[in-house]
Amino acid sequence: MTEQRGAAHVVMGTTPRSLPVGTFADFNGNRCSVQMSSLANLEAIWLGVDDASPKVLHSDAKNLGVDTDKTFGWVEYPIPPEVSLTTRMHLSREQVAALLPILHRFVDTGSF
């Protein structure tokens, strides 16, 4: 197995509410985390990207009301604070168990 963008590295810690959390970067360098859920009646985790980081192509920016001087690539798309974007999955133990065979096959074979 070859790593194209560096080795995977998860930094373990705790949240302000003392829940276990592991932080890492995905293949594209986006900040991600896996965290124990605070649900009282179900064991679950949160898993995913920490910030949606919405972007639009520079050619669409003006039509969408984004002022930019960029002439190529992606432009940050501002989301009002009143808008919530879901970026992390809230998974039960059973859901994680269903995903594990797929993830193990991918680790072993590079496919699933």
The residues pairing with 40 across neighbouring beta strands, listed in sequence order, are none
Nearest to 45 by CA among 100, 91, 94, 96: 91
Q: For the whole prediction, is pTM greater than 0.75?
A: yes
Q: What angle do CA 26, 31, 34 make, to 5 degrees?
A: 80
Q: Is the pLDDT of residue 1 over 50?
A: no
Q: Is the pLDDT of residue 3 over 80?
A: no
Q: Is the pLDDT of residue 67 over 90?
A: yes
- The confidence score (pLDDT) of residue 86 equals 93
| Residue-wise pLDDT tens digits, 24-41 | 999 989 999 999 999 989
